[in-house]
Amino acid sequence: MSTLDSLEFDNRFTNELDGDEILLNTPRQVQGAMFSHVKPTPTSMPSLIAISDEMAEELGFTQEQLESDDFAQMVTGNLVLPGMDSFAMRYGGHQFGNWAGQLGDGRAINLGELVTPSGERRTLQLKGAGPTPYSRTADGLAVLRSSVREFLTSEAMFHLGVPTTRALAAVATGEQVLRERAFPGAVLARIGRSHVRVGTFQYFTARRDDEAIAALARYVAERHYPDSLSAQSPALALLDAVVAAQAALVAHWQSIGFIHGVMNTDNSSITGDTIDYGPCAFMDEYVPDKVFSSIDHGGRYAYSNQPHLAQWNLANLAQCLLPLIERDMHGDGASRDTASTDTVTQSVHDADTDPGRQAAVDAAQASVDAFTGLFEAAWLERFSRKLGIESPREEDASLARDLLDIMAADSADFTLTFRQLGATADVARDAFNDPDQFDAWQARWLTRVAEEARPAADRQRDMQRVNPAVIPRNHQVEAMIRSAIDENDLGPLENMLAMLADPFDERAERSFLATPPELVERVTQTFCGT
Ligand code: AMP
Ligand code: MG
């Protein structure tokens, strides 16, 4: 008997897909399977660092359960409940544009699919819970600094309204993990609607395993996009739905200055959620080609490139779904030779000689091309709202872009500029070295908003609902991590979590998260810290 017996687990993934029944955690060659049953590696001296009470409540944990030893043991991987059937999923992916083959899951173990009291399914996953068959040469562990960064950032993203995986709990394992030097280890218990990635499909496409792709597509559609199943081509409808979800997601990122940092195909979620927080950060001063990640030398995942790279990832998904689209459209094609996973266009060459495939390629290409329009519409909607425009028109895009251009010219703070526009524009003006340009822009803006004939107070209220007052300022995140690790002080983490739970509200005591860093405080690089 466990205090946690009331939890309901239902592993449809395990039931519907081909699993590997050998219960062995060590890295090895797994034959054919799409996931492997594994158990987390027990830890000796776990201590809870943070719990998201609200997340826990949504999942159906009672206060008593949260305070129980069983809960702490479960989120460290020491207690695996009977219905969980814990497993690691298999996926591959492109890293920085290069096909990297099988990548994981090397250090994340799904404890199981939890059915919440409201009937939703959430994957409970432990990141850093020890090796899996897919760990390659790595240790399967995570360090405290990156776990804390993910905990804080994913919770902040949730409260900003961005689709994301969430943090349930972070635990220090009490063990040291060797990286450039020894660092304290941690396990992050995170919750997702799904942890299926573009790279999950890609792995099986690379193996030319059309049956696995079909099973995976069916699983994703049944669980996340049920409407697609009744379409003429369910696979094409699935692609359309993922394209739309990713376009909306990246427009949301752009609107709050969020830089993911490693948008590799294995970090690109099939549900359009933000997943795998690594060297991510919010930018302070607006620099369109801003990069934080210490390993992104070419600026591939710079802020301004994020839409393009999301579309690149989707072209790879389209490539994977092509045999299914062809089969849906023509009743066969399942066993055709699979082309390179690079882009849909690549397949056009193969299609020259095959009209059936040509039609499927054209349809998939059109779906991926639609990203541009969907993204631009979502971008216009978000940035118009940031400017207090209720009914956006196409030309409002240039109004927003022109503001961004003068912000870039003066390195104005992204968050603060929009926030101040919604309060007193004069304060926003002060941030510009060349106020004349701002004045000219402001005159256009005021003319535009006047056309909507709304009371200024209503407009300002609406603007403050979409322009956050506080974000996880990177220099403060780094300072918080230093306190947690060097001084064992979790106060700053708790404080920041509480403040970021309500990011649109203005309160004086939070000014440290509202204020950009001084020059000497700036943190210009973040590290994967795996
Ligand atoms: P990332 O770029 O952080 O998403 O990492 C890519 C993949 O490498 C992950 O999906 C993991 O499977 C794997 N990986 C990263 N760090 C580790 C580690 N310490 N142990 C095992 N696998 C890892
Ligand atoms: Mg990853």
* Ligand 1, atom 23: closest residue by C-alpha: 106
Indicate the pLDDT class of residue 350, thresholds 50, 70 and 90: low
Q: Minimal CA–CA distance to 195: which of 166, 158, 168?
A: 166
* Catalytic residue list: 266
* Ligand 1, atom 15: closest residue by C-alpha: 530
Indicate the pLDDT class of residue 407, thresholds 50, 70 and 90: very high
Residue 508's pLDDT is: 63
**What does pLDDT average to over the chain?**
91
Please report the atom of ligand 1 found closest to the CA of residue 140: 20
pLDDT at 202 over 80: yes
Indicate the pLDDT class of residue 28, thresholds 50, 70 and 90: confident
Rounded to an integer, what distance in angstroms lies between the CA atom of residue 386 and that of residue 449?
Answer: 12
Residue 430's pLDDT is: 80
Please report the atom of ligand 1 found closest to the CA of residue 104: 12
Indicate the pLDDT class of residue 528, thresholds 50, 70 and 90: low
pLDDT, average across residues 423-441: 84
- What DSSP character marks residue 314? H
Rounded to an integer, what distance in angstroms lies between the CA atom of residue 414 and that of residue 404?
Answer: 9
Instruction: Specify whether the CB–CB gap between 432 and 286 falls below 8 A.
Output: no
Q: Which residues line ligand 1 at a C-beta cut-off of 6 Å? A: 103-107, 135, 138-141, 262, 264, 266-267, 276, 278, 528, 530
Structure confidence by residue, pLDDT tens digits, 307-329: 999 999 999 999 999 999 999 99
Rounded to an integer, what distance in angstroms lies between the CA atom of residue 375 and that of residue 386?
Answer: 16
* Ligand 1, atom 8: closest residue by C-alpha: 103
Alpha helices in 387-505 (DSSP H): 396-410, 414-421, 425-430, 435-450, 456-466, 474-486, 491-500
* Ligand 1, atom 16: closest residue by C-alpha: 530
Indicate the pLDDT class of residue 521, thresholds 50, 70 and 90: confident
- What DSSP character marks residue 209? -
CA of 267 to the centre of ligand 2 (A): 5
Testing ligand 1's pocket by substitution, the residue of 107, 144, 528 carrying the most ligand atoms inside 8 A of its CB is: 107
Quick one: how many helices (H) and strands (E) in the chain? Answer: 19, 14
Residues of the chain above pLDDT 70, percent: 95
* Ligand 1, atom 20: closest residue by C-alpha: 140
pLDDT at 446 over 90: yes
pLDDT at 333 over 70: no
Please report the atom of ligand 1 found closest to the CA of residue 132: 21
Determine the residue type at 510. R
Ligand number with the minimum distance to the CA of 90: 1
CA of 449 to the centre of ligand 2 (A): 42
Please report the atom of ligand 1 found closest to the CA of residue 530: 16
Is the full-model pTM beyond 0.85? yes
Instruction: Give 190: exposed, middle or buried? Use CB within 10 Å, 0-12, 13-18, 19+.
Output: buried
CA of 482 to the centre of ligand 2 (A): 24
Rounded to an integer, what distance in angstroms lies between the CA atom of residue 297 and that of residue 332?
Answer: 44
CA of 252 to the centre of ligand 1 (A): 26
Testing ligand 1's pocket by substitution, the residue of 91, 103, 294 carrying the most ligand atoms inside 8 A of its CB is: 103
CA of 310 to the centre of ligand 2 (A): 15
* Ligand 1, atom 7: closest residue by C-alpha: 103
pLDDT, average across residues 421-426: 80
CA of 43 to the centre of ligand 1 (A): 20
Indicate the pLDDT class of residue 335, thresholds 50, 70 and 90: very low
Residue 337's pLDDT is: 42
Structure confidence by residue, pLDDT tens digits, 373-400: 999 999 999 999 999 999 999 999 999 9
